[in-house]
C-alpha cells in the first residue's frame, strides 16, 4: 500500500482511513492511459484556455486567468471504464506556479455528469502525492477524469505527473475526529446556570473529575455518573456537573482519566457577540444590494446579486417558468438568498422573517429583554441611524420581497404568492450571486406561501406601526389580501417534484399555516373573524399538533401563531389566554422530558435527526425559552441552556455547529460564496452561522459515502458538499439569533446582566467647540466606582437641532435629539479609576448649552 494512502487521505478537513491494511492485488491495472506522460500528451485533452505540453516528463498546462468557475479550465482524460460497487484509488502529483485548488472529478462525460468522485486539494509549487479512494455507484463504459483548475483571476502553470486510477481499493472508512472524550459547552456556562458535561468511555464505573482554571489550579472535583450507552451516539457515556462553581473566568478545563476537555468560560456575557453575529447572517445574504466592506470587511464584501448586471439576469422582472406560464412579470428584487443556493423561497422566507420580528417583539413583551441590543445603530446594517430598530430594517428587506411575490391585482389568483423564485438549473460551487448566469423564474403560487406572506406581513404591520405607519398599512393590506386569497384557494400545494435549480419546499398540510396567519392577523387587527378562525382551527390548543415533539419548522408553523398568542397582548379573554399559555407549557414540559432522557441533554427526540436538525433543536429551545419568559420557572431556562450546550460542542462529535464559537467549530458549511474549502481565495462562513446539523437520512452524496451506519447525532460532516448536513439557511439562523438574544438577556443566568446589577458610578466631561454652523465635541467617561463598566453605553439628549455627522473612538447614533454612544472594538471596558474618551463633529445653528445630563448603562452620571 502506498505511503500516502497509509498515512490517511485528506479531503479538505476530513481524514479518510482505509478499512484494512490488506494490500491490493499485485498487478493492478492502471485505468489511466499514459499517466506518466512518457508517451507525450495523448490521450489527454484540455480546454482551449489551458494549452499543455510535456515539460521535464510532466504534463504542464498554461491556464489563462479571468475565469469564474472551477470547470472553466480543465485537463482531462475520457474513456475510463468503472464498475458499480467497486472501489477505486486515484493518485497523482500536481504543482502550480501559484497556489490553487484543483477540483478533481471522476464523472460521467456527458450531461447529467453523474459524479462518482469529487475532491478539492490545495496545490503549490511543491509536488505532493495526492490519493483518494472512492466507490463507483454506477457502471460507466467511458467515464471522465477532470482536473478542474479554472476560477482564478491570474494565469497559472499547472503540472501533473504519475496519474493512476486502479480498481480493487479498500473502500474508505470515515472516522470523524472527535478530539477529547471529555465534552463541554466550548463557549461556556452562565455564572448562575447549570454546568454539565459528558465523558465518553467504555468504563462503567464512576470516575473522578477535576475542574481546573486557566492556570491549571484545581477549582472543583467530583465523580462522574455512568449513564450507559447513549442512543444518539451509540457510545457509552458518563455525565458530570459542576453547577455550584460560580467563579467567572476563561480557560477552564475538565480532566477525567487523563483526558482534558476543550477550554471554556464561566461568565455572564458569553452570548453578547452571538446576538449580532447571528443577525449579521441576514445582511450577508441579502440579494439586490452591494454588501458593503465597511459593514462586513473586505473578504465578505461583494457586488449586488441579481440586479440585472451581466452575467446576472436580474430579479426585477421575473417571469413564470415555462411549465406554468403567466403573462406578467414581478419585480422581486431584494430579499435574502435562502441558503447555500441563490434561490428565494416564500415559504422559508416567511418563517425566517417572522422569527426576526419575534426576536424584536420579545423585547416589547418579555421582562428583561434588551431592545437596545437590536435597536437603531446596534447591528451592522446599512440602515443604521434611520430611527428604526436595526432588526426591523433587516426584516423589512425580506418583508418587501415576500409581498412582491404576490400575483398582481386583476390577474387570475391575484393576492396569492408565488411559492419561490430561483435559477432554472442548479449551479455549481463556488459561485458568487452576481456571477450567476442562470435564468431566474417564478414557480407557481401556493397556499402555503400565501399564508406565509399573510402571517409575516401581519406581524410586521403591528411592529412597524410605531415607526412608519404608512408602511405598516401597506403590509397589512398585503396580509389581508393574501389571507383572503388563501381562503379562496385553500389547497394549491407546491409540487414535491419541483426541485430543479431550487429546493421544492413542498408541504401537503396547510392547516398550520392557516392557524399561524389567522393568529397574527387577529393580534394585529383585533378583528373577530380572525379570532374565529383561530379558535375554530382543529389545531387550537392541541399541544402536540401545534408543537410537534421533533420541533416546529418551515413546514409546521402553527407554533409561530401560538407563541405570538401566548406572549403578545391581543384581546384574548383571560380564559382564552390561560388556555393558550397552558398549551405552551404543556409542550415545554414535553421538551423538558426529552432533555432529561439522554446524557447529552438534547431537546430533540432521537428519531428526529432530520435535514436541518439543529433548527429543530433550536425551535424546541424557543418553546422552552418562551415558557421561561412567561413563568419564570428555572427548569425551562435550564432546558434552553442544555440545548445551547449541545449546539456549542457538548455533543457526540465534540463540535460547535456555530462558526467562530467554541474551540472546535464547523467552518465548511455548504455555501456558494463562503466556499473556502473549494477556493482558498474565498472566505469561510463568518462567525455566527449555524450548520444544519446531523441528518440520519443521509441525503447527499458525501453523507452517503462517508456516514453510512452512523448513529443519529453523528450523521454530520463538516464538508462543503454535504448540503444535507452542513448547509446554512435563513430559517436556521433566525432561531439562532432569537436564542442568542434570549441567552444574552439572561446575563449571569438569572435574567439580569451582572455588570448592570448596580448602577455604575461615573463622571462625564463634555467639551465642545462651536462656530456658526458646526461643532466638535470631546467626551470622556470616568469610572469613579469599584467595578469595571463593560460594555458601556452613554446616552444624552441635545437641547437643539445639532446633528452629529461623524464620530471617533465610539459608535454614535442619533435619533431626533437623543444620542447613544457605544464602544468600538477596543474600548468596551472602563476600568475602576480609568476613563474612556471619544469625540464627534456635526452641524448646528445658533448657540445653546452643552448637554449636562448623561446616563450610563441606565444609571445617572455626574457631569463635570
Give the footprint of ligand 9MR on this chain (CB under 6 A).
338-341, 343, 426, 428, 503-505, 611-612, 723, 727, 729
Rounded to whole angstroms, the Cα distance separating 362 from 370 reads: 9
Q: Does the annotation count 520 as an active-site position?
A: no
Any residues with CB less than 8 A from the CB of 303 and at least 6 apart, and which?
290, 309, 432, 434
Task: Please choose, from the candidates 377, 345, 341, the residue with its C-alpha nearest in 3D space to the C-alpha of residue 449.
Answer: 345
At its nearest, how many Å lie between ligand 9MR and the CB of residue 257? 39
Q: Which of 670, 671, 673, 719 is catalytic?
A: 670
Please give the biggest Cα pair distance in the chain: 94
Tell me if 46 sits within 8 A of 74, measured CB to CB: yes
Phi and psi at residue 782, in whole multiples of 5°? -115, 135
Q: Tell me the HSE value of 456 on the side-chain side, using a 13 A CA sphere.
A: 31
Tell me if 422 sits within 8 A of 504, measured CB to CB: no
Q: How far is CA 414 from CA 18, 477, 560, 816, in A?
A: 59, 13, 26, 41
C-alpha cell at 136: 463507483
| Beta strands in 339-478, from DSSP E residues, in sequence order | 344-345, 417-423, 440-446
Rounded to whole angstroms, the Cα distance separating 23 from 3 reads: 12
Looking only at the bridges linking them, the beta strands covering 264-267 and 188-190 are parallel
Q: Which of 394, 679, 718, 745 is catalytic?
A: 718
Number of CB atoms found within 10 A of residue 21's CB:
10
Q: Which of 116, 277, 341, 394 is catalytic?
A: 341
Task: State the first-to-last Cα distance of the chain, in angstroms, to the nearest integer.
Answer: 78
Q: Does the annotation count 670 as an active-site position?
A: yes
Q: Which helix or strand (DSSP H or E) is residue 147 part of?
A: strand 140-148
The residue among 22 and 497 lying less far from ligand 9MR, judged by its C-beta, is 497
Rounded to whole angstroms, the Cα distance separating 576 from 571 reads: 9
At its nearest, how many Å lie between ligand 9MR and the CB of residue 55? 34
Q: Does the annotation count 718 as an active-site position?
A: yes
Q: Does the annotation count 470 as an active-site position?
A: no
Per-position DSSP letters for 199-238, written without gaps between them: EE-S--S--EEEEE-TTS-EEEEEE-EEEEEETTTTEEEE
129: three-class secondary structure by DSSP: strand
Number of CB atoms found within 10 A of residue 462's CB:
22
Tell me if 428 sits within 8 A of 497, measured CB to CB: no
Q: Which residue is nearest to ligand 9MR (CB)?
A: 503
561: three-class secondary structure by DSSP: helix
Radius of gyration (Cα) for the chain, nearest Å? 29
Q: How far is CA 132 from CA 124, 210, 720, in A?
A: 18, 42, 17
Active-site annotation, residues: 341, 670, 718, 727
Amino acid at each position: 500500500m502506498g505511503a500516502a494512502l497509509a498515512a490517511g487521505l485528506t479531503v479538505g478537513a476530513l481524514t479518510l482511513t482505509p478499512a484494512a491494511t490488506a494490500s491490493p492485488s499485485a498487478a493492478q491495472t492502471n485505468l489511466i492511459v499514459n499517466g506518466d506522460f512518457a508517451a507525450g500528451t495523448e490521450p489527454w485533452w484540455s480546454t482551449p484556455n489551458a494549452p499543455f505540453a510535456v515539460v521535464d516528463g510532466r504534463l504542464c498546462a498554461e491556464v489563462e486567468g479571468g475565469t469564474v468557475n472551477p470547470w472553466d479550465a480543465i485537463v482531462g482524460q475520457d474513456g475510463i471504464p468503472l464498475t458499480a460497487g467497486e472501489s477505486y484509488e486515484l493518485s497523482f502529483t500536481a504543482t502550480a506556479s501559484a497556489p490553487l485548488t484543483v477540483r478533481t472529478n471522476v464523472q460521467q462525460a456527458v450531461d447529467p455528469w453523474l459524479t462518482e468522485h469529487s475532491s478539492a486539494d490545495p496545490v503549490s509549487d511543491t509536488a505532493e502525492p495526492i490519493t483518494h479512494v472512492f466507490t463507483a455507484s454506477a457502471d460507466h463504459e467511458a467515464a471522465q477524469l477532470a482536473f478542474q483548475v479554472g476560477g482564478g483571476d491570474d494565469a497559472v502553470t499547472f503540472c501533473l505527473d504519475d496519474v493512476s486510477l486502479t480498481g480493487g481499493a479498500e473502500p474508505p472508512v470515515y472516522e470523524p475526529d472527535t478530539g477529547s472524550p471529555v465534552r463541554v459547552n466550548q463557549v461556556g456556562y452562565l455564572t448562575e446556570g447549570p454546568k454539565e458535561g459528558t465523558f465518553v468511555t467504555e468504563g462503567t464505573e464512576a470516575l473522578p473529575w477535576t475542574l481546573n482554571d486557566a492556570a491549571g489550579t484545581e477549582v472543583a472535583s467530583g465523580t462522574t455518573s455512568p449513564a450507559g450507552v447513549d442512543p444518539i451516539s451509540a457510545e457509552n457515556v458518563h455525565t458530570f456537573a459542576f453547577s455550584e462553581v460560580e467563579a467567572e473566568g476563561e480557560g477552564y478545563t475538565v480532566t477525567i482519566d487523563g483526558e482534558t476537555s476543550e477550554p471554556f468560560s464561566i461568565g455572564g456575557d458569553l452570548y453578547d457577540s452571538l446576538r449580532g453575529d447571528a443577525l449579521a447572517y441576514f445582511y450577508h445574504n441579502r440579494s439586490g444590494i452591494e454588501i458593503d466592506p465597511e459593514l462586513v470587511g473586505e473578504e465578505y464584501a461583494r457586488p449586488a446579486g441579481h440586479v440585472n448586471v451581466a452575467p446576472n439576469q436580474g430579479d426585477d422582472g421575473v417571469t413564470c417558468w415555462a411549465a406554468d406560464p403567466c403573462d406578467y412579470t414581478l419585480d422581486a428584487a431584494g430579499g435574502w438568498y435562502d441558503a447555500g443556493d441563490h434561490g428565494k423561497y416564500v415559504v422559508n422566507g416567511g418563517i425566517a422573517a417572522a422569527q426576526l420580528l419575534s426576536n424584536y417583539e420579545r423585547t416589547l413583551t418579555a421582562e428583561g429583554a434588551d431592545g437596545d441590543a437590536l435597536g437603531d445603530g446596534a447591528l451592522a446594517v446599512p440602515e443604521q441611524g434611520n430611527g428604526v430598530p436595526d432588526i426591523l430594517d433587516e426584516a423589512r428587506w425580506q418583508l418587501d420581497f415576500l409581498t412582491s411575490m404576490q400575483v398582481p391585482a386583476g390577474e387570475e389568483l391575484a393576492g396569492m404568492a408565488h411559492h419561490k423564485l430561483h435559477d432554472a438549473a442548479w449551479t455549481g460551487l463556488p459561485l458568487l450571486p452576481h456571477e450567476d448566469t442562470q435564468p431566474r423564474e417564478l414557480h407557481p403560487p401556493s397556499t402555503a406561501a400565501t399564508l406565509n406572506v399573510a402571517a409575516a406581513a401581519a406581524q410586521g404591520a403591528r411592529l412597524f406601526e410605531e415607526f412608519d405607519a404608512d408602511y405598516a398599512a401597506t403590509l397589512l393590506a398585503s396580509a389581508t389580501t393574501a389571507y383572503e386569497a388563501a381562503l379562496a384557494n385553500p389547497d394549491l400545494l407546491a409540487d414535491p417534484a419541483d426541485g430543479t435549480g431550487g429546493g421544492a419546499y413542498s408541504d401537503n398540510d396547510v392547516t398550520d399555516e392557516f392557524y399561524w396567519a389567522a393568529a397574527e392577523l387577529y393580534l394585529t387587527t383585533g378583528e373577530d373573524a380572525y379570532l374565529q378562525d383561530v379558535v375554530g382551527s382543529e389545531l387550537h390548543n392541541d399541544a402536540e399538533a401545534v408543537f410537534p415533539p421533533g420541533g416546529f419548522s418551515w413546514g409546521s408553523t402553527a407554533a409561530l401563531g401560538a407563541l405570538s398568542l401566548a406572549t403578545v397582548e391581543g384581546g384574548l379573554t383571560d380564559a382564552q389566554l390561560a388556555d393558550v399559555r397552558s398549551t405552551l407549557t404543556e409542550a415545554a414540559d414535553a421538551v423538558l422530558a426529552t432533555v432529561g432522557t439522554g446524557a447529552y441533554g438534547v431537546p430533540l427526540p432521537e428519531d428526529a435527526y432530520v435535514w436541518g436538525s439543529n433548527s429543530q433543536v433550536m425551535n424546541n429551545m424557543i418553546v422552552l425559552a418562551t415558557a421561561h419568559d412567561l413563568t419564570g420557572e428555572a427548569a425551562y431556562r435550564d432546558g434552553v441552556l442544555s440545548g445551547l450546550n449541545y449546539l456549542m460542542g457538548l455533543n457526540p462529535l465534540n463540535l460547535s455547529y456555530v462558526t467562530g464559537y467554541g474551540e472546535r467549530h464547523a467552518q465548511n458549511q455548504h455555501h456558494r460564496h463562503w466556499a473556502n474549502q473549494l477556493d482558498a481565495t474565498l472566505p469561510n462562513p463568518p462567525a455566527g452561522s449555524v450548520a444544519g446539523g446531523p441528518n440520519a437520512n443521509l441525503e447527499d452524496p458525501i453523507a452517503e459515502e462517508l456516514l453510512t451506519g452512523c448513529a443519529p447525532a453523528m450523521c454530520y460532516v463538516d464538508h462543503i458538499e454535504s448540503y444535507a448536513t452542513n448547509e446554512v439557511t435563513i430559517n436556521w439562523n433566525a432561531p439562532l439569533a432569537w436564542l442568542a438574544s434570549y441567552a444574552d438577556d439572561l446575563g449571569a443566568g438569572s435574567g439580569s446582566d451582572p455588570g448592570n446589577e448596580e448602577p455604575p458610578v461615573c463622571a462625564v466631561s463634555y467639551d465642545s467647540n462651536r462656530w456658526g454652523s458646526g461643532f466638535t465635541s470631546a467626551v470622556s467617561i470616568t469610572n469613579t466606582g469599584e467595578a469595571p463598566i463593560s460594555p458601556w453605553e452613554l446616552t444624552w439628549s441635545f437641547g437643539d437641532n445639532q446633528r452629529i455627522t461623524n464620530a471617533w473612538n465610539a459608535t454614535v447614533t442619533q435619533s431626533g435629539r437623543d444620542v447613544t454612544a457605544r464602544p468600538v472594538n477596543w474600548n468596551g471596558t472602563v476600568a475602576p479609576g480609568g476613563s474612556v474618551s471619544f469625540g464627534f463633529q456635526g452641524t448646528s445653528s445658533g448657540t445653546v448649552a452643552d448637554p449636562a445630563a448623561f446616563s450610563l448603562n441606565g444609571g445617572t452620571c455626574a457631569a463635570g
